[in-house]
Structure 1
Amino acid sequence: MSNAVASTVAISADSKAEMSLSGIGMSFSGVSVLRDVSLAITGGEIHTLMGENGAGKSTLVKIISGVQKPSFGTMEIDGRAVTLASPREAEAEGIVIMHQELSLVPEMTVAENVMLGHEPVHRSIFIDRKRLRKEAKAVLARFGFTLDVDRPVKDLRVGEQQLVEIARALLMDARVLIMDEPTSALSQTEADILMEVVRDLALQGVAVIYISHRMDEVFEISDRVTVLRDGDLIGTKLVSDTTPGELVEMMVGRSVEIEKIERHTPASPEVVLSVKGLGLKDGEKVLLEDVGFDLRKGEVLGIGGLLGAGRTELLETLFGARGVPVAGKITLNGGNCWPSTPAAGVEAGLALITEDRKGNGLLLERPIRDNIALPLLPLKTRYGLVSQRMQTAEAEAAIEKLRIAALGPDHVVGRLSGGNQQKVVLGKWLATHPNILLLDEPTRGIDIGAKDEIYELIGKLADSGLSVLFVSSEIPEYLAVCDRMIVLCEGRITGELSADEMSVDSIKELAMRF
């Protein structure tokens, strides 16, 4: 891996960056979002930036990458004072950002997205398509990413799209590389590959600013960590001189530990969902094969596996988003059920929280009121008219029940933090009063404080008798919330684990049992 990466990313041995920010402040319409923040990073260092959603990380990154000019403070690169007026000027200084929110072109292929801005040309005019595909394949292979370069990006899963984004960013001649939650949609295997890539980049002299909510990543890869809270710099620590508990307390101002959620009511023996011999294909490709399990009332059942194992496909099939399965039997509350559309899934008492809340779960430019009401419209409209009173009442109930930090039902969803956006997604589906909740990466891209609240909510919902199917790319989450789990590998179930049998090692072993 090291040699491959070194041959792909062009970093000069004598071009190590020295970057410092001093007294950075930022205000919007008189509201201060950053206050007196100072940060220094040198080539070869992996410097992690941590903080809850809304702490100021994104604003600081936008300043470093030239998207925004600070209201106060100075920035120096290699001892030179610089003012970056645009991302292009930042890239000219060797500053490259890999955004958490994907910036791919959906209609273009994997190869076209990977090579975007770096397309090989023929006779200095025409794009050399053959060479473009070849070079894209080589780049992906060197980083250990296995993707079909001719496939449109819109047809990829979120995790696969993240790999394309990563490969594209790593092609650029970066001296300072900013990575914003790069593993948020990756399985543990893909995340491990990326960790190795990041280490190799640092060895070549790249200064890496790494943003992550995953504490295990921070301690695995970082040299130093800087914590922001509510726009203030709380402190910078050598990773070797701190602990996860100390960093969490710096981030949230209190002690937070991810532990097994407290359950007051054990799962009932009553089976609410039974799946037998389930099969699903995409053309000739087998996505699910002979999948079978039972889900009990009030149970949180984990669906584990690596990226591409079939976890999302299973939830989508149960919800009706994949059409009717090609084989097998689905029984809901004792009766046969083959949801062929999401509407049929909702009618059957199912609700799906998708892995991509911004792409599939929310209308970002609309208020909370409109988002909460979306799945209710077919159920609560009269003569084609929507009750504004109903919408407002449902939104107010969700805000109160889920403790959504918002100004009210008219608060635009796109202006909420990631954790509060996720609560809106949960709120809109809970408003349908489902019997079974399908959770696909429900804590993706949100901070540890918000995660803790969502874990607590899952426990309360299960205690109330709601059954939950839970998918995550973070193994500790299964240990925290699940009563039991099944593990998939290449569309097949490779094992089942009780709560006592679940561990990082046992889950990994089943996930890789081909």
Structure 2
Amino acid sequence: MTMQPAQDDDCVLRLEDVTKVYSGIVAVRHANLALRRGAVNVLVGENGAGKSTLMRIIAGVEKPSLGRILLDGNEVEFHSPADAQRHGIGMVFQELNLFGNLSVAENIFATREVTRGLRGIDHRAQVDKANNFLDRLDAGIDAETLVEDLPIGQQQLVEIAKAISLDTRILILDEPTSALSAAEVDVLFKVIRELKAQGVAIVYISHRLEELMRIGDYITVLRDGQITGHAMVRDIDTKWIVRSMIGSDAKDFAKSVDHRLGEEVFRAEDICLPRRTGGLAVDHVSISVRAGEVLGIYGLMGAGRSEFFECVIGQHRHSTGRVHVGGVDISDCDTSDRIRRGLAMIPEDRQREGLVQALSIASNLTLASLERFLRFGFHIVGEKERAAIKAAIGDLSIKAPNPDFEVTSMSGGNQQKVVIGKALMTRPKVLMMDEPSRGIDVGAKADVFRTMRRLAGEGLAILFSTSDLEEVMALSDRIAVMSNGRLVTVIDRAEATEEMIVTASAEGHKTTREHA
């Protein structure tokens, strides 16, 4: 199914035969793409297909190795993101680009501050303008707040507010909803519809296929760096998208591996984490997991799922409660010792907390398990380390042509797989996975979920958090529902329904408000 070529008055930007090569690896090959004004131009493909590379070229972050960029029919070259912005192009990147030690307002107006002539920056005007953009997104954020004090979902809203503030003609949104709640997604879509009505060309990248069907007008599919199809969204369905992306129908990641559960291997008792602003971010949460069991923790943003994991791994020394692994109380251990005792965690924010971006793929994989490869306590056995790296890359289907390349050369989904591989190389007894499918396409998601079930079959106890009902229903042996820092209920998967889980989450919010 192919669209008709765009008319000149309909197309604001066109790529002609654009190719991008990194260190001999072709990331994008002879791409031809037309972006239409006043429309949502959806771009889909598996991780590593070239979506982000293509958008970084349009946004001035990268230069094409070959090919042309035409803006309003005229050939242009973008030498920097600032250059692209001057031409009316803004981008919200998949990985957040914010200054944590600056306020929200300072981030929104970074490099283009509101000034009062020779008197310098007009901070009050910046805050007022920033609050207007945030109010437009119903973000519930004060523009004077430090970005580092915001959860990742609200940081995503700051990025979107920053892009909207640029008054762009072309707005690129790379996985804009990966950390947003359902209500925040609805608000974002309302803003997108407003921008469409003003004639803005929206480029929308997402792995959530239902979102693409809901918001998209035109769709372009990439596979292995090449554009393999165009269509109007109204003429296709999600099965067409999946077949175009991976060459077949969706993989069955929901199918579980039957195995017998072992003894209790993990127990958390009365975990509490005080908030700086008062109250508890984690409120007396107690959970146990058996060997071979997958416990899904469901909750929306602010439910306390991430904070609970952080307490268990030892990140918050002022938290209270007890943690047991294999019957041993490890509550007094620091994070490094908890990892040695069999705990491992995959954080939600892979860029800031899961990876060392200046290091190679290989170095990131073995970073937490170097003790395994030491001889005489100080000498790393290279052959043993390389064999483990090769095995991890194969087990997780990581697309890494050269493990010595920097980890930032990979797509977001493959970076996530490296974080997972790093955790598994510590040989844990208990694995905590915070939103493990965030930013991962349908094929990579299937790989990760099959790995989770395989590891559970081998006796690993797994706790994973998610705000995705389909995921928690498909993968869990038991489902724990959290809301506003509290554990609302734990349900056996055989008895659970989506309605039951959503109702429990909503009741948790209601109960918390009544006690406030």
TM-score of the two chains, using structure 2 as the length reference: 0.89
What are the equivalent positions in structure 2 for 1:31-430 lying under 5 Å apart? Answer: 31-268=25-262, 270-283=263-276, 284-323=278-317, 325-326=319-320, 328-377=321-370, 381=374, 382-407=376-401, 409-430=403-424
CA distance in 1, matches of 2:24, 2:425: 37
Q: Which moved more, 1:28-37 or 1:44-53?
A: 28-37
1:80 maps to amino acid: N
* Secondary structure in 1 matching 2:368: helix
Q: 1:286 to 1:29 in 2, by over 3 A?
A: closer
Count of aligned pairs? 498
Deviations 1:166-221 (A, max 9, x none): 11111111111110111122233322322222222212221100011111111111
1:186 maps to amino acid: L
Unaligned runs of 5+ in 1: 1-14
* Secondary structure in 1 matching 2:367: helix
Q: 1:82 to 1:377 in 2, by over 3 A?
A: closer
Q: 1:349 to 1:119 in 2, by over 3 A?
A: same
CA drift at 1:454: 0.4
Contact kept in structure 2, 1:298 and 1:468, CA below 8 Å = yes
Q: 1:285 to 1:118 in 2, by over 3 A?
A: farther
Q: 1:260 to 1:30 in 2, by over 3 A?
A: closer
Match of 1:476 in 2: 470
CA distance in 1, matches of 2:498, 2:434: 19
Deviations 1:31-58 (A, max 9, x none): 5433332222322211110111221212
CA distance in 2, matches of 1:31, 1:493: 48
Deviations 1:353-392 (A, max 9, x none): 1112222212233234322332223566445443434432
Q: Percent identity?
A: 38
CA distance in 2, matches of 1:140, 1:226: 31
Q: Tell me the C-alpha RMSD between the 2 structures.
A: 2.5
Q: Please say if 1:489 is aligned against 2:483.
A: yes
1:341 maps to amino acid: D
* Secondary structure in 2 matching 1:392: helix
Unaligned runs of 5+ in 2: 1-8, 510-516
Q: 1:360 to 1:312 in 2, by over 3 A?
A: same
1:360 maps to amino acid: E
Q: 1:397 to 1:54 in 2, by over 3 A?
A: closer
CA drift at 1:436: 0.6
Match of 2:461 in 1: 467
Q: 1:370 to 1:78 in 2, by over 3 A?
A: closer
Deviations 1:83-123 (A, max 9, x none): 33333332222111111121111221222112324433234
CA distance in 2, matches of 1:265, 1:501: 19
CA distance in 1, matches of 2:19, 2:365: 35
CA distance in 2, matches of 1:502, 1:462: 20
CA distance in 1, matches of 2:146, 2:10: 36
Contact kept in structure 2, 1:318 and 1:339, CA below 8 Å = no
Deviations 1:150-174 (A, max 9, x none): 4332343332321211111111111
Match of 1:439 in 2: 433
TM-score of the two chains, using structure 1 as the length reference: 0.89
1:305 maps to amino acid: G
Deviations 1:304-340 (A, max 9, x none): 11112111000111111112523x4433333433155
CA distance in 1, matches of 2:367, 2:389: 11
2:245 maps to amino acid: M
Contact kept in structure 2, 1:324 and 1:339, CA below 8 Å = no
Contact kept in structure 1, 2:49 and 2:225, CA below 8 Å = yes
Q: Which moved more, 1:388-397 or 1:437-446?
A: 388-397
1:359 maps to amino acid: R
Q: 1:386 to 1:83 in 2, by over 3 A?
A: closer
Runs of 4 or more above 6 Å deviation: none
Match of 1:7 in 2: none
Contact kept in structure 2, 1:16 and 1:175, CA below 8 Å = no
CA distance in 1, matches of 2:106, 2:83: 24
Contact kept in structure 2, 1:322 and 1:341, CA below 8 Å = no
Contact kept in structure 1, 2:373 and 2:385, CA below 8 Å = no
Q: Which moved more, 1:87-96 or 1:329-338?
A: 329-338
1:336 maps to amino acid: D
1:344 maps to amino acid: D
Contact kept in structure 2, 1:140 and 1:147, CA below 8 Å = yes
1:455 maps to amino acid: F
CA drift at 1:463: 0.7
* Secondary structure in 2 matching 1:395: helix
CA distance in 2, matches of 1:420, 1:475: 24
Q: Which moved more, 1:330-339 or 1:212-221?
A: 330-339
* Secondary structure in 1 matching 2:503: helix
Q: 1:386 to 1:244 in 2, by over 3 A?
A: same
